[in-house]
Amino acid sequence: MTKIYFPSSGPSDWQAVLADPLKHWRTGYSARTLAACWEAANGLPTEVAKVLGPDAELLIALPEHKVPLPRGRESQNDIFCLVRVKSETAAVTIEGKVNESFDVLTSQWLSAASEGKRERLRFLCAKLGLNIDQVGPLRYQLLHRTVSAIIEADRFKTDFAAMIVHSFSPQRLWFEDFRQFASALSGEAEPDQPCWVVTPTGRRLLLGWATGDDAFLSS
C-alpha cells in the first residue's frame, strides 16, 4: 500500500483509486456522488461540518484510504480526513451511501469462518468494546470502518476519532442499521446530529449520519 497521494484536479480523479474503477463509477451511486459533492465543497460539505461541530475545518482528505487490519484485506474507506474543530483535531472516516447497504450482517460474514476471520473480529470488537457474541445482528462494514477511524486517530495522535455516514438517499435507507450499531456502543443516533461514545481506551468517538444534497445524484 503506497503512502504517497496526489492532489485532485476534479471528481474524475477519484475514479482511478476505486477498488473497481469501472463498476463503481456510475451516476447516482455513492462513489461518483460523493466525489462530486466533496469537490464542489472545496472543504467540508456543510452537512458533514454540522455533525463535526462549529468551525470544523478540513485539513486534508484522502479518497479511498486503506487502513490495515489483522488477518485479511485492508478497510478501504471512501474518504479519510484530518479535521480541525476549534482547538482539537479529529481523524475522520467517511462512508458514502446512496441506496447501497452496509454489506452483510456480521453473522453472515462469520458463517463457517476461519480462525483468521475470528481473530479479525475479536480485534474489531476489542477496539469498540463489544462482545463477539453481540455483534451478529450488526453490519460488518460499520465495524471495520469505525475501527479504521480509531486506528488512524491513534496513528496521527488526534484528540478524537469520528466515523460519518454521508448519505444521499432521500429515504435515508439503512439508517436503522446505523442506529442499531450506535446503540450497541451505548450511543443514540439521530440524522445530522453528533452521537458521542467512548472506546475502551477512553478515546472519544463521534458517530454521525450526514444527509447529503441529492442534487449531486445526477453528477
Whether residue 21 lies inside any domain: the answer is: yes
- Could you tell me the residue range of the domain that residue 93 belongs to? 12-100+145-218
CB count within 10 Å of CB 192 equals 12
Concatenated DSSP letters of 64-129: EEEE--SSS--EEEEEEEEEEETTEEEEEEEEEESS----SBHHHHTTT--HHHHHHHHHHHHHHT
Q: Rounded to an integer, what distance in angstroms lies between the CA atom of residue 51 and that of residue 56?
A: 9
Whether residue 16 lies inside any domain: the answer is: yes
pLDDT digits (tens, 9 = 90+) for 140-187: 999 999 999 999 999 999 999 999 999 999 999 999 999 999 999 999
Whether residue 6 lies inside any domain: the answer is: no
Whether residue 140 lies inside any domain: the answer is: no
Q: Rounded to an integer, what distance in angstroms lies between the CA atom of residue 80 and that of residue 76?
A: 9
Q: What's the grid cell of residue 135?
A: 455483534
Whether residue 94 lies inside any domain: the answer is: yes
Whether residue 113 lies inside any domain: the answer is: no
What global pTM score does this model have?
0.96
Whether residue 25 lies inside any domain: the answer is: yes
Q: Are 135 and 181 in contact (CB under 8 A)?
A: no
- 6: confidence class by pLDDT, cuts 50, 70, 90: confident
pLDDT at 77 over 70: yes
Whether residue 55 lies inside any domain: the answer is: yes
pLDDT at 197 over 70: yes
Count structural domains, the chain. 1
